[in-house]
Amino acid sequence: MKKSVVELNDEFSSAIYPLKGEFRNKYHIEVPNGLINDPNGLSYNKGEYNIFFQWNPYTCEHKYKHWGYIKTKDFIRYKKPKIMLAPDSVIDKDGCYSGTGKFIDDKLNIFYTGNVKNNGERIPHQNIAIFDENDMLIKKKPLIVGIPDGYTEHLRDPFYININGVYCMILGAQNKSLKGRVVMYISKDMNTWDFYGEINTKLDDFGYMWECPNLININGYDALIFSPQGLEKHEFKYQNLYQSGYILGHYNFENNTFMHNSFYELDYGFDFYAPQVFKDNNRIIMIGWLGMPEDNIEKESPTLKNNYIYTLTMPRVLKVENGRIKQSPLEEIKLLRDKEILENKNMICERHEVNIKNRCLEINLELEVFADFKYILEFKKEKIILEYKSLDNILILDFTNLNKGKNGVRKVKMPDNKLRSIQMFLDVSTLEIFINDGEITMTSSFFAESRDVNLRISSDKEFKLNSYRVWNMRGFIYE
């Protein structure tokens, strides 16, 4: 029997943090039980960051999607997660799907897709839910019901934006030819919405569905960030089941056309999908789902025995350099650093090794390499290997020596012609890697058994470690 929002929140408010479990992360957002996925409704208002996410609070299945909610002022201290939006009406009875949040007249407006199925037919509802300053629901109602001519029932994930004083809503879509697209609706009063058309791009045949679109300006460039499904896998790109990436250029609202460069992926690890971006006072911040909806992998996750699965990525700041988006960890994350357990400078070596009795670390290397290079995280008999092939300028993340979870390799051709820096954030069951100050990122979950980690570096020739620093990391504080 399904529970009300009040009943669920009463239950979750009694949860004791840090949460218990063999693979519970310390500085990544997690919930007491159930499945979480897409970040939603990311917004900033009066010094507070509002983070929503898809949450099935009952089981670890992609069903019964609610909106979970967590709030922070500093990305260190958080309010305990709670349910904000539930599929409890005729306009969202089969799930509250993804969307965005915007504060208007000091009230939080959530734009989301209500999944509604009647007699096997899906009727997408693009809804609005309005909350007061005490996070109490004032009302929710449909804004757009059904689909425009020329498109299938796959119409979802509204991203709200104001362009030249016009209220705009962009949506991931699929046309009748089963090609992924982004479409736009516009309104003058937030009540009546008219179909404005498809955003024209050069990506005519690029997967069968585009999910979770974001349209935002970064350093003077318009960026369309979205998650295409159905791209053909290649050796150095599109290696996961689904992808997340962006095109950069200039969006012309008058003719609804986006002039852009190539599509680039945002992450090359095993687990990154459905990111969302938002602005605070002076930054563009992105959070992604640290997961990938692969049925066979989900069913084997070792966290299922504790009735939970997945987390969100660390928040990242986006900027544009040389026609590409670069990602860097939010500056506030440095406040989680605890004891510095390693600091080496200006070393010449072929190998380096250190054993650490902890698995929550930040690792920073600035280096000069002249041959093939490996950085190895060794958990007794299990290993994660980050390998750099200097001649071909290829980076390889190797998970083949892990016993549980993802098993395989991910490869990427680097845009720069050398490896200059590695920054790693190692949590109990997550790994986020930033290469060359965020030119490349690789994000993954992993489930090695040992809590001790041996950090090993090796190269075919001597290399220079300009700086090598490692910190223990503290966990989030929940209030």
Q: Annotated catalytic sites, by residue?
A: 38
Cis peptide before 158 (omega within 30 of 0): no
Residue 425 parent element (H or E): strand 421-426
Helix, coil or strand: residue 303 = helix
Q: Which of 269, 311, 321, 309 is nearest to 287 (CA)?
A: 311
Beta-sheet pairing, 34-45 with 308-309 = parallel
Contact 50, 43 (CB under 8 A): yes
Place of tokens 């949460």: 19
Neighbours of 76 (CB within 10 A): 15
Token pair of 250, please?
């200039």
SS3 assignment for 48-103: EEEEEEEEECCCCCCCCCEEEEEEECCCCEECCCEEEECCCCCCCCCCEEEEEEEE
Q: Which of 121, 52, 56 is nearest to 87 (CA)?
A: 56
Beta bridge partners of 325: 320
Residue 5 parent element (H or E): helix 5-13
Contact 338, 360 (CB under 8 A): no
CA distance 294 to 118: 27
